[in-house]
Structure 1
Amino acid sequence: MDERPPSRRQPYASRVWPPRQQETTHGPDAASGDRPPPAGDLALHPTAPAAPDAAALAADALPPSARVYGTPEAPPPPKIPPGLARALVGVAVFLVVGGLIAGLGYLVLDRVRAATAPPVNAVDRLAGVTYPVPPGWHEGKVAPVTAFTSVVTHDGDAVVMARPGDAVQPSGLRQAAQELTDIYSRLLLHGDKVTVVEDGGLTVNGRTAYIRALRAEYHDVVNRPSYLRVMVLGGGEVGAVVVGLVQPDDPRLRADIDAMMRGLR
């Protein structure tokens, strides 16, 4: 009967790979650790194991597949033939230059088209008038003031509106223009200081008209000066009223409003 004590199998959870280098725990040199014996004592220890070299340690650190098939290496980068590389560069340059030429041509054609395009007119059938729409202006659907039947605007800082009016005789146009200017000044300007900058009659497409314009200033630092221009058109069975408003006041937009009123027909 075997009376040797049973040995315990090492659990799988404690096994590691690669295996650790076994240490010698017995013999007369155990206290000195892994230090190799002196050169003079090699003859006295013929069975002492030789120190592992770096190549052997590196081989032990590789997985089993690497020992069979060798260490995997990254594939070399693809090489583009010189002729193909020059062709690709030429194509890229051609595309860039072609895009620039196409963009420049479109810009020139757009400018030419804008210069040769027929003028746009706003037609107000209820008021019986037609007036030109300058570049930068566009027709609106609903006027911001009741009773006006057509409107054109400029980026929210200027507006021109038209509506039917009473058939006013030429002698009464000035009074009608003054009354309407006072009404629209209180409705639209609310200025702290209002100055009359234009007041006079003119002929528009063979019809007598009268224009009165105001400039409003404000004491606060938020509101900038505003410009209001009212034209009353007579000389027909049905009159017309045209109102232009600019806020803030701008000489260029003033000129656009004057062109629209003088181009009325």
Structure 2
Amino acid sequence: MGEPPHRARPPEDPPEGFPRRRDPRRTRPYGRPYGAPVAGGVPAAPPEQDGARPLRQGGWSAARPGPARAPGRDGADDDLPPSARRYGTPSPPAGPRLPRRLRRFLLGLLALAACAAVTAGAVVAVLRLSSPSPAPGRVTDRAAGVGYPLPAGWRTGAVPPVTGFTSVAGDGRTATVLVRPGGGVTDARRAAVTLADLYGRLLLHGDEVKVADDRAITVGGRTGHSRALRAEYRDVVNRPAYLRVVFLTGSAGRPPVVVLAVAGPDDPRARAAIDSVVAGLR
């Protein structure tokens, strides 16, 4: 005797290795059968199961191995949600990574900052070494083989700010005098003109530079030449500056002497102090 017509045949068991198919007529745990219409007329599809995906028209797809679960002791993942049991527990996100170009730029910026710090430290050290210090009323420059007096309020510096000079003195505000031994030059005027032009371009940077004085001199039994320049500026910040170069020839086994004097701003008192230093060279 056959089965009653009102009863459908139970679903056949899937082949070995396939998950068992759930009867779509069975109600879900929430009280609605699989495939029942929902609001809007869209049927709800049966949920996916581990290892297999249900087909739309019945039947079962081939089992697919799902992602490996997070390792743990037996029953340790019973409290996890279905997504964690299927895909594993989420791992903490990695920190943000900078692009390679940005990393290189930052590294270069750090290197430049380190170089700037080292350079600033060297400049500060040179300024401290060249700062004037108290001294007696006369300076003796043994390398140049000459001595010169110090006007009132002047001091000697430890390190000359221009390369090649062996002594320096000044008032620390407007006037500075530097002395060094000269080379084997026979034409004192030519040497003074050349050096004045060189140091003028190096130190003055004026918009207009004029010759303020050019004459032969005799100081302390030595003959030589003196040339002075005055620089003017078109801006309203910089005031006129004064530069004087004196070249004295050698005598009695002593080498020639080069004297460089700079005053900024240019004023009569600064020039008078420089003239007293040059006149006292011995």
TM-score normalised to structure 1 length: 0.53
1:176 match: 191
Q: What letter is aligned with 2:224?
A: A
| Aligned 1:85-124 pairs, distance under 5 A | 120-124=137-141
List 4+ stretches of structure 1 deviating above 4 A. Answer: none
Aligned partners of 1:168 and 1:235 also within 8 Å: no
1:206 aligns with 2:225: no
- Which SS does the other structure have where 1:257 is aligned? helix
Q: What is the 5 A alignment of 1:108-187?
A: 120-169=137-186, 172-187=187-202
Give the conservation status (yes or no) of the 8 Å contact 2:174–2:270. Answer: no
C-alpha distance in 1 between matches for 2:269 and 2:174: 12
Instruction: Note the alpha carbon deviations across 1:206-248, whole angstroms, 9 max, x for none.
Output: 1101100000000111110000000001032411100000000
Q: CA RMSD in A?
A: 1.1
CA positional deviation for 1:168: 2.6
> What is the alpha-carbon distance in structure 1 between the residues aligned to residue 222 and residue 256 of structure 2?
10
Rounded Cα–Cα distance in structure 2 between residues aligned with 1:197 and 1:134: 23
Secondary structure of 1:126's aligned partner: coil
| % identical aligned pairs | 55
8 Å CA contact 2:168, 2:177 repeated in 1 = yes
SS of the residue 1:245 aligns to: strand
Distance in 1 (alpha carbons) for counterparts of 2:184 and 2:145? 12
SS of the aligned residue for 2:231 comes to strand
Q: Deviations over 1:31-54 (max 9, x none)?
A: xxxxxxxxxxxxxxxxxxxxxxxx
* Residue 217 (1) aligns with residue 232 (2): yes
Would you say the 8 A contact 1:191–1:216 is kept in 2?
yes
Asked if the contact 2:177/2:262 (under 8 Å) is kept, the reply is: yes
Establish whether residue 260 from structure 1 lines up as the match of residue 280 from structure 2. Answer: no
Runs of 5+ consecutive residues of structure 1 not aligned to the other structure: 1-118
Aligned to 1:45: none
Q: Which residue of 1 aligns with 2:80?
A: none
SS, match of residue 278 in structure 2: helix
Distance in 2, Cα, partners of 1:129 & 1:178: 22
Structure 2: distance between partners of 1:229 and 1:129 = 18
* TM-superposition CA deviations, 1:74-107 (whole Å, max 9, x none): xxxxxxxxxxxxxxxxxxxxxxxxxxxxxxxxxx
Q: How does 1:242-261 map to 2 (within 5 A)?
A: 242-261=259-278
Partner residue, 1:240:
257
| Larger helix proportion of the pair | 1
Runs of 5+ in structure 2 lacking a partner?
1-135
